[in-house]
Amino acid sequence: MSKWSPCKRRLFIKKLKKLGFNGPETGGRHEFMLYAPHKQTIPNNEEFSIPQLRKLITQVEQKIGRDISIEEWRKL
């Protein structure tokens, strides 16, 4: 079984683009990406810790309406 690992911000943005998100757009304190009417905020950290990454992926799953397995995330 694979384990989660920290993720660089640029890689996170590339993976969201592969999932169908557009952007990143600027506005306010953080950049964000759009998925239809949904907005996903992208924190300014250079690298996301495992707990932060898991929280962000949970938010993304709610926006796209399906689960993302660790294997799928690694392949993106």
Residues of the domain holding 14:
7-75
pLDDT digits (tens, 9 = 90+) for 47-56: 999 999 999 9
Residue 1: inside a domain: no
Read off the CATH number of the domain in which 23 is found.
3.30.920
The structural domain count of the chain equals: 1
In a domain? residue 2: no
**Pair of tokens at residue 38:** 């949904």
Q: Please tell me the pTM assigned to this model.
A: 0.88
Q: Which residues make Cβ contacts (< 8 Å) with residue 23, sequence separation at least 6?
A: 31, 32, 33, 34
- What is the secondary structure of 6-25 as a DSSP string? -EEHHHHHHHHHHTT-EEEE
Q: At what angle do helices 50-64 and 9-18 cross, to 10 degrees?
A: 20
Q: Is residue 19 part of a domain?
A: yes
* 61 within some domain: yes
pLDDT, tens only, 14-60: 999 999 999 888 988 888 999 989 999 999 989 999 999 999 999 99
